[in-house]
Structure 1
Amino acid sequence: MQEVYQHFRKEEQPFIDNVQSWVTQTEETYTPYLTDFLDPRQQYIVEMLVGKKGEVHVSFYGGYEDAERRRAIICPEYFEPKKDDFEIELMEVNYPSKFATLSHGKVLGTLTGTGMKRELFGDILFDGLRWQFLLAANIASYVQTQVSKMGNVSVRLESKMYTDLITPIDSWTIVHDTVSSLRLDTVIASIYNISRQRAKELVTSGKVKLNWAAMERPDFELGILDIVSVRGYGRIQIQAIEGKSKKDKWRVEFGVLYK
């Protein structure tokens, strides 16, 4: 395992162990294994680990073509997953949109407030008026009965067909940039054109999330497919690391969502 660990971060080792156990289970039982929703970095790790195994393969799906959070099916060679095999349901939040507003944080906070872990929910979508989210099918009816308010807004959750899926207004802007390092504060400062000190303050004051989890270490080294959310600024994804420039700076392709 040590030679596998060295390609990833120390804190990713428990997840790597999980992936190895899923692969082993698939190999031994010769049946597919369906994961919870994975963030892009986790999907990358699964792809790297499963890619080396000839007798199993992996497929990803998050409920629609460009989904960010996706479930994986690790399966034997004979099995070709169909969309239904991913067991994902689409839910719409009905609310008095003329009189009230919702936010991504409010929707997510309410969903996880039902006692269900974040990994059972996929993307949260907003088209400027309507809110929808994807979730594991086996918890859909429970969540539906549990949620009647988001903050102080009365809501009703309605199950929808995939043909009713809205087109989210968020879209990544591709930015090619050179940065002196892949430290979290350095990347935030460069992308949003703010001072390194200001970027450091945003991180240490709890305004930054890495792959949907709080991150308060300004010196944290980012890697491929990490997603950084900066409150009040937007989101950054490391889409490709293109090597070093002549001045020894990292050339990086970023996806950026501006607030």
Structure 2
Amino acid sequence: MAKLALTKMKTKNSSYQEQPRGNEYFGIRVHDWIEQAEKYHSPTITPFLNESEMAIVKKICGNKIAYREDGGYDEANYKRVIFLPNREDDFSLVVCLVATFNPKFNEIGHRDVLGALMNLQIARNQIGDLWVEGNRIILYTTHSQSAYIQQNCTKIKRSSIQFNESSQHYAQVINKIKSTVSVSSERLDAVISAMIQKPRGIAQDLIRDGSVKVNHEILEDSSKLCNNEDTISIRGFGKYIYCGVIKTTKKDRYLIEFEKYS
């Protein structure tokens, strides 16, 4: 079970003003969920939120209301948030479904599974993490969608399948490639230039264009200094973890380490 997190909501008017640009509507939804939990003194549960939406939830909140993240396993990318007024809990409304297929006769990938679910008119926010490993499809969904998927998602491409609820909650294993490189500073543009192996000017253009997210939020300041364990997503290039400085070289440059999701 994910650890309990405590949040604090600022006054509503000031919080609206502080919403990340382009996400004002989602910020209003977060306030509505919190107010509903406080008004009725009962848990309010969101749909599955992606990493960017989770970052907004954490930015809006402080320590006024308890909340818990539930994606089925600790490192899930998509999670539901359960706002908990005045109490804690340990219930889960996330279900793990598993199906198998024969890869010799039909290759099935993430897009194939997601497409089959969308064809059933299932909204993306009702599906959590989803992946294919070997001959097995694993997906997380809500209790309310679980039976519907088991009954109706019985064929993907040319393969007949049957999803069944699993008592084991599987965790997706994501491979990362570790690299070290020399940079002049820990500025965001310098680090990105090293990560994507492109001139610094291209890195600055990507940042200005809003193509870079740091810890799941768009950041347009090239001079921002990177911190250890920052998650950096670069549109068109992938997702990275900045691990930090290993040492300073004799020429006063920094030898940094980062990981790229493969």
- Deviation by residue 1:107-147 (Cα, 9 ceiling, x = unmatched): 11221221111111000133334221101110111122222
How much has 1:77 moved relative to structure 2?
2.2
Please say which structure displays the higher CA radius of gyration.
Answer: 2
Deviation at 1:6, TM superposition (A): 4.9
Q: 2 CA distance for matches of 1:25 and 1:114? A: 30
Does 1:257 pair with 2:248?
A: no
1:155-202 deviations in Å (ceiling 9; x for gaps):
323223232x445342345668867657xxx94x65343578999xxx
Aligned residue in 1 for 2:128: 122
Tell me the TM-score normalized by structure 2.
0.69
Q: Does 1:168 find its partner at 2:176?
A: no
Q: Quote the Cα distance in structure 2 between the aligned partners of 1:42 and 1:48.
A: 10
Question: Residue 35 of structure 2: SS of its match in structure 1?
Answer: helix
Work out the CA distance in 2 between the residues paired with 1:110 and 1:11: 30
* Cα distance between partner residues in 1 of 2:233 and 2:101: 29
**Equivalent residue, structure 1, for 2:164:** 159
Mapped partners of 1:162, 1:61: distance in 2: 16
Counterpart amino acid of residue 70 in structure 1: K
Contact in 2 for aligned 1:23/1:50 (Cα 8 Å)? no
Within 5 Å, give how 1:184-199 maps onto structure 2. 187=192, 190-193=194-197
Question: Out of 231, 234, 239, which is 1:236 matched to?
Answer: 239
State whether structure 2 residue 127 is matched by structure 1 residue 136. Answer: no
> What residue number does 1:20 align with?
31
Secondary structure of residue in 1 paired with 2:214 = coil
Q: Distance in 1 between matches of 2:147 and 2:173?
A: 27
Q: Work out the CA distance in 2 between the residues paired with 1:175 and 1:3.
A: 42
Do 1:68 and 1:123's aligned partners in 2 also have CA atoms closer than 8 Å?
A: yes
| Structure 2 unaligned residues grouped into runs of 5+ | 1-11, 218-231, 246-255
Match of 1:81 among 89, 94, 102: 89
* Structure 1 residue 32, shift from structure 2 partner: 0.5
Task: Structure 1: state its 5+ residue gaps.
Answer: 204-216, 243-251
Q: 1:71 to 1:17 in 2, by over 3 A?
A: same
Q: What is the CA-CA distance between 1:15 and the residue it aligns to?
A: 0.8
State the distance in 1 between where 2:121 and 2:130 align. Answer: 18
Identity across aligned pairs (percent)? 21
| Structure 1 residue 47: Cα displacement | 2.3
Alignment size in residue pairs: 226
**One-letter code aligned to 1:224:** N
Secondary structure of residue in 2 paired with 1:58: strand
